[in-house]
């Protein structure tokens, strides 16, 4: 199963069908209140448009979802927008599509297609990254252990968040969930139990441009 995804950078899309214009926006939203506030801000920005259809998906598994047709025929707008979010596995996000009517009726099939295409274009114009599960930790080790630690870390697909050199080496890193247990076991074996990690916590993270970005960690 693919990882769920999150919005790292918002994006705006566009689609036109028979002179009807569909302006779409994808935004990160971590609560229903935040999602609805974004919808309201889009309404104010495009105050002269009749329809501001939207969908949001809140929670890692889409625990809270809503789709709104905002005056369009039932199921022709909000549902296609939500299908884009669920199909892409995007959570903690709201997708709004504003329609300016072009004078020609599109029919239910045409509306569904237009809202879906506009929503999809906003996703394409955004930066959406897979969210991974792992463990974040701190570790201090002597210089004579640097080679072994760095080899184990690198071969465990570890992500270095920070590194400091003083009387010893201090690192803060992330390990993918499926590699963490083996790394910590190998670390104990290689150091004969002398090295111990601190502040070891489950976390969520994304990878961007070869770097890791810590999203959250559990207490």
Is the torsion defined by CA of 175, 137, 209, 145 positive or negative? negative
DSSP class of 3: P
Give the pLDDT confidence of 28-72 residue by residue, as tens digits.
999 999 999 999 999 999 999 999 999 999 998 778 999 999 999
Separation of alpha carbons 200 and 192, rounded Å: 19
Mean pLDDT of the region 196-214: 92
Could you give the percent of the chain with pLDDT greater than 90?
89
Q: Which two tokens stand for residue 10?
A: 């918002």
The reported pLDDT for the residue numbered 217 is 66
Nearest CA among 71, 66, 77 for reference residue 33: 66
Give the pLDDT confidence of 88-130 residue by residue, as tens digits.
999 999 999 999 998 888 999 999 999 999 999 999 999 999 9
Spatial contact of 1 and 114, defined as CB atoms under 8 Å apart: no
Q: Which residue in this structure is represented by tokens 């927008």?
A: 81
* Entry pTM: 0.86
- pLDDT tops 50 at residue 1: no
Spatial contact of 206 and 129, defined as CB atoms under 8 Å apart: yes
Q: List the strands of the sheet with 198-208, edge to edge.
A: 159-165, 169-176, 132-141, 198-208, 211-217
């Amino acid at each position: 199963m693919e990882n769920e995804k999150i919005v790292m950078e918002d994006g705006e899309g566009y689609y036109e069908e028979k002179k009807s214009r569909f302006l779409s926006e994808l935004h990160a939203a971590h609560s229903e209140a935040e999602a609805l506030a974004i919808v309201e801000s889009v309404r104010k920005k495009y105050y002269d448009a009749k329809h501001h259809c939207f969908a949001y998906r809140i929670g890692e598994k889409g625990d809270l979802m809503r789709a709104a047709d905002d005056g369009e025929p039932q199921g022709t707008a909000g549902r296609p927008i939500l299908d884009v979010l669920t199909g892409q596995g995007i959570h903690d996000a709201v997708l709004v599509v504003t329609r300016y009517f072009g004078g020609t009726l599109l029919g239910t099939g045409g509306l569904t297609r237009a809202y879906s295409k506009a929503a999809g274009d906003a996703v394409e114009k955004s930066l959406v990254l897979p969210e991974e599960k792992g463990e974040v930790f701190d570790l201090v080790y002597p210089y004579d252990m640097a080679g072994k630690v760095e080899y184990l870390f690198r071969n465990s697909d570890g992500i270095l968040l920070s590194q400091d050199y003083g009387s010893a080496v201090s690192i803060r890193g992330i390990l993918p969930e499926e590699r963490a247990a083996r790394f910590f076991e190998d670390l104990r074996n290689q150091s004969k139990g002398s090295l111990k990690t601190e502040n070891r916590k489950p976390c969520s993270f994304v990878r961007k441009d070869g770097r890791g970005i810590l999203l959250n960690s559990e207490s």
